[in-house]
Amino acid sequence: MLNNIYLALIHYPVLGRHGNIVSSAVTNLDVHDISRTCRTYNLKGYFVVSNLPAQREIVDNVLNYWLEEFGKEYNPSRSEALTVVKRASYIEDVLEDIEEIEGQKPDLVFTSA
């Protein structure tokens, strides 16, 4: 059976503690830990989604370090796990990317914290 399961961690839009729509912060753990889980279960891709350019830059910096710079040599298994990570600005971008890759719109399943 061909694996076409993707995961997206959405940092915008999320519901803030006062019921308003906010952007939440991307953490290093969001990138590293979830990518390792995705590789363990052979997910096809993992999207970290944030509408904030500075937050997307954090993801880019982590990925560049581990995929292109010293981290690639220092810890090849971590580098390999991060190959599934992509970043996106909005969930709509993720859906478009998946549809382009798979040739059909994805079915969505979600949970919230």
Span 22-71, pLDDT tens digits? 999 999 899 999 999 999 999 999 999 999 999 999 999 999 999 999 98
Single-letter code of the amino acid located at 33: D
| Residue partners of 28: CB distance under 8 A and separation at least 6 | 62
The pTM of the full predicted model, rounded to 2 decimals, is: 0.91
Choose among 102, 48, 110, 39: nearest CA to 76.
39
Indicate the fold that domain 6-99 takes in CATH: Alpha/beta knot (3.40.1280)
